[in-house]
Amino acid sequence: QHYQAIAESVDIPIVIYNIPGRTAKNIEPETIIRLAEIPNIVAVKESTGSMDQASHILSACDLAVLSGDDSLTLPLMALGGKGVVSVVGNIVPGDVKNMLNAFNAGDLALAREWHFKLFALCRNLLGLATNPIPIKAAMQLLGRDNGEVRLPMTQLDSSSMQVLEKTLRDYGLL
């Protein structure tokens, strides 16, 4: 009823954001499938980390499913996902685009190469702290942001900052 009321009150496309790690509540596939019947609900950003859940949604309705987990983008697209709302795309947008373009062109080998390159960045960057703390710190190191986070979030500790700097150096960004 909540989504229905919102959808009826606006005349814009709506993307559902399913992130139980932040909300403590998963939007079950059956609910998403029902919501897909509402005309201006056009996509779901699926951030559960569950390929089972994504598969259930993709097999049951025509709703566009977008990856909300950078490291699962390529597997999700192989199942029929339409793209990603990327975190690492804030620092390497061209690389994310290259992976998507390779996949969409049917060059799975090249898409896999980009996936594995990006995976190292995802694993070592996004696991340091709650998002957006590490991506903001990375943007600051790259001179693209001031790195400020709002409470209750705090800056990366010094050991995590060292890991982040090494990760960015290993990727060729520093």
Catalytic pick from 3, 17, 82, 117?
17
Catalytic pick from 45, 97, 117, 166?
45
45 is catalytic: yes
57 and 81 Cβ atoms separated by less than 8 Å = no
| Backbone torsions φ then ψ of 4, nearest 5 degrees | -60, -45
Short-list 132, 173, 174, 123, CA closest to 155 = 132
DSSP string, 123-135: HHHHTSSSTTHHH
- Tell me the longest C-alpha to C-alpha distance in the chain: 49
* Catalytic residue ranges: 17, 45
